[in-house]
A and B are shown apart, each in its own frame.
Chain A
Amino acid sequence: MANADAPLIEVKDLGVRLNTSRGPAQAVRGVSFTLRRGETLGLVGESGCGKSVTALALMGLLPDSAVISGSIRLEGAELVGLPDAAYCKLRGNRISMIFQEPMTALNPMHTIGRQVAEPLLRHTSVSAAEARQEAIALLDRVGLPDASKRIDAYPHQFSGGQRQRITIAMALACQPDVLIADEPTTALDVTIQGQILDLIADLVAERGMAMILISHDLGVIAENVARMMVMYGGTVVESGETQAVFTRMGHPYTQGLFRARPRLGARKGTRLTTIAGTVPELADLPAGCTFADRCAIVEARCRAALPPVVDVGGSHGVRCIRTDVSMADGGVVA
């Protein structure tokens, strides 16, 4: 393969415009990042912030009506504007995705063996018997008990956690270079969440894949990825090494998100801290900073234009023009 230091995925100034029932909406703008083999990146933010749209843009699975701008390169090859037939050769083969809802992500009419073997039959020249053996091996690897006996069972015969293991086996079937996990544990019981995340982390390390993990859960991001991007209103408001972002939160939104976590040991009846206001409608985003309407330290110039990304040291970027205030001791007090 190519030089290990060469970027595997290079996203530059990605923009996505979706046609919604409320008119065209700029769901994502100005998203840029680079991933090398073995690197992990987290995308965090509230629902509707553009993280899933970013993932679907990478997979080339946005609706036909979506307008994509900017560039997505996989080992130098441009993916934006690639015809669907060519994209089909990459999906499930070099880029795979694990989805949020294991209960509905599997076809109820097909056996799990058939579904796990499907990408192998699609992308490699193995025989049906070999694909079946490989499917059993994959299901074994993801920790599905009695894989060889249950290969001909149907999805409804498995629990949510087991189904998510099956979708992981499916995503890994062709040894992809990039794995996108979109809220892989959100729909699962808390006790299962850790197991699934550990499994994904093991597999990523074992196979040297690059991983993009999408979550709204700061805890999940903190424990599972080396770098992270915080998204809000379709833009990346803060990005950097996970460690750096958590120790020196620069953007008022990141700080708000952090304060909004429920905490153990709080007095009973204590209200959870929230961020005032609501997420802006993507169909009519403000001209300036997307967070301006909810920000405690907003100024007139915040609303004038989308603030540039400010490098606050160590490749830690914050899209805020008031980092002098927000990054002072204690940060912004809401």
Chain B
Amino acid sequence: MSVFFLQRILTLVATLFAASLIIFLVLDALPGNAAQMLMGADASPDAVRALTVKLGLDQPLTVRYLLWLKGMAVGDLGNSYVYGTPVAGLIAERLVLTIPLAIMSMLITVVLALAAGIYTAANHNKIGDVGVMSLTQIGIALPNFWFAILLILLFSVKLQLLSAGGFAGWDDGIWPGIRSLLLPAISLAVVQAAILARVTRSAVLEVLREDFVRTARAKGLGKREVLWRHVLRNAMIPVMTVMGLQFANLLAGTIVIENVFYLPGLGRLIFQSIANRDLIVVRNCVMLLAAMVVIVNFVVDMLYAFIDPRIKVANL
């Protein structure tokens, strides 16, 4: 395990550094002076200069980059240009919504996808397979914001079961919070589940053609036992790879979905900060999203080694 683990840790750290550099340079290269933007076009040059110094924007590029890295290391991300409050606090406030939302929609994705994928593979070319696969085809084609609006129309307007937007928070217990995240989580999950179901189906079908499946049948195992005991674990590697990649899509999707449902989450914070040119917030939020995606894929890599005994040995 150790060499494999070390390799992956090094890759993780290198990727994070590269991401931070790219994020920093791209945001820095944006046209316009942040101080000028904040004070408006009519501000006096002296005032703009004073604010530039105050925000530290007069320092050389490398110094500002290193200061940012240092800040991330000690947890001080600076203050928002617009709100004047610490960026770390702003982000933390939003994460209590976005992280549960991401986890919920990932769970819905995985449950739907595995159920549909395994069912269709086990009933290959039968009516159930064709039916479910047609549904996934539609699922892939759905834009998530449009599907979100349909869900609101059905569950909030027509059936009046769930609220059309807003977030109840976690103060009154876990249930109101989950209720308000349910529709957004489903809207995010449907497209991802449709893709993952197709990946699962083809992965299971591929493993079903392997020789060891016939061996297992020759031992006297029924088709279902073979599927659960021998096939699924072998099919999980490609499924998990796609799951890791989908997590990135899912986070990107929150920016749109949080706006559709008026949820005060990270996605909405990014959206507003871009509109306000609150670049220090944008920079840290984007870095956080990048870190989440990289870390999730790191965990997926670790799970490979956990699932497939061949991976450890190949790297020892």
Contact = CB atoms under 8 A, between A and B. Distances in A.
A109 B234 contact: yes
A154 B310 contact: yes
Contact of B307 (A92, A109, A118, A123): A109
B58 interface: no
Interface in A152-182: 154, 156-157, 167, 170-171
B146 interface: no
Contacts of B222: 84-85, 88
B210 interface: yes
A101 B209 CA distance: 14
B93 interface: no
Given A104-B212, A107-B234, A108-B309, A118 B219 contact: yes
A118 to B, nearest CB: 6
B64 interface: no
Contacts of B115: none
A99 B313 CA distance: 26
B211 A101 contact: yes
B60 interface: no
A207 interface: no
B309 A92 contact: no
A246 to B, nearest CB: 31
B211 A154 contact: no
B218 A59 contact: yes
A332 B214 CA distance: 41
Given A108-B234, A108-B309, A156-B313, A90 B211 contact: no
Interface string B258-284: 000000000000000000000000000
A170 B220 contact: no
A108 B308 contact: yes
B221 A122 contact: yes
Interface residues of chain B: helix, strand, loop or mixed (majority): helix
Contact of B214 (A93, A99, A118): A99
Interface string B285-316: 00000000000000000000001111001000
Contacts of B216: 107, 118
B215 interface: yes
A96 B309 CA distance: 27
B215 A106 contact: yes
A89 to B, nearest CB: 7
Nearest to B210: A104
A88 B221 contact: yes
B310 A156 contact: yes
B8 interface: no
B223 interface: yes
Nearest to A100: B211
A249 to B, nearest CB: 33
Nearest to A119: B219
Which of B212, B222, B230, B234 has the most chain A CB atoms inside 10 A of its CB? B212
B218 A97 contact: yes
Contacts of B211: 99, 101, 104-105
A37 interface: no
A61 B217 contact: yes
A238 B117 CA distance: 48
Contacts of A251: none
B249 to A, nearest CB: 28
B220 A91 contact: yes
Contact of B220 (A89, A101, A106, A109): A89
B233 interface: yes
Contacts of B313: 154, 156-157
Interface string B162-200: 000000000000000000000000000000000000000
A191 B221 CA distance: 34
A92 B234 contact: no
27 contacts: A61-B214, A61-B217, A61-B218, A84-B222, A84-B223, A88-B220, A88-B221, A91-B217, A92-B221, A96-B218, A99-B211, A104-B210, A104-B212, A105-B215, A107-B215, A107-B230, A107-B234, A108-B212, A110-B230, A118-B221, A119-B220, A122-B219, A122-B221, A156-B309, A156-B313, A170-B215, A170-B219
Interface of B: 210-212, 214-223, 230, 233-234, 307-310, 313
Given A99-B215, A123-B220, 18 more contacts: A84-B222, A90-B220, A91-B217, A91-B220, A92-B218, A92-B221, A93-B220, A104-B211, A105-B215, A108-B234, A109-B233, A109-B234, A118-B219, A119-B219, A119-B220, A122-B220, A154-B309, A167-B215
The 6 nearest A-B residue pairs measured at CB: A92-B219, A92-B220, A104-B211, A91-B220, A154-B309, A107-B212
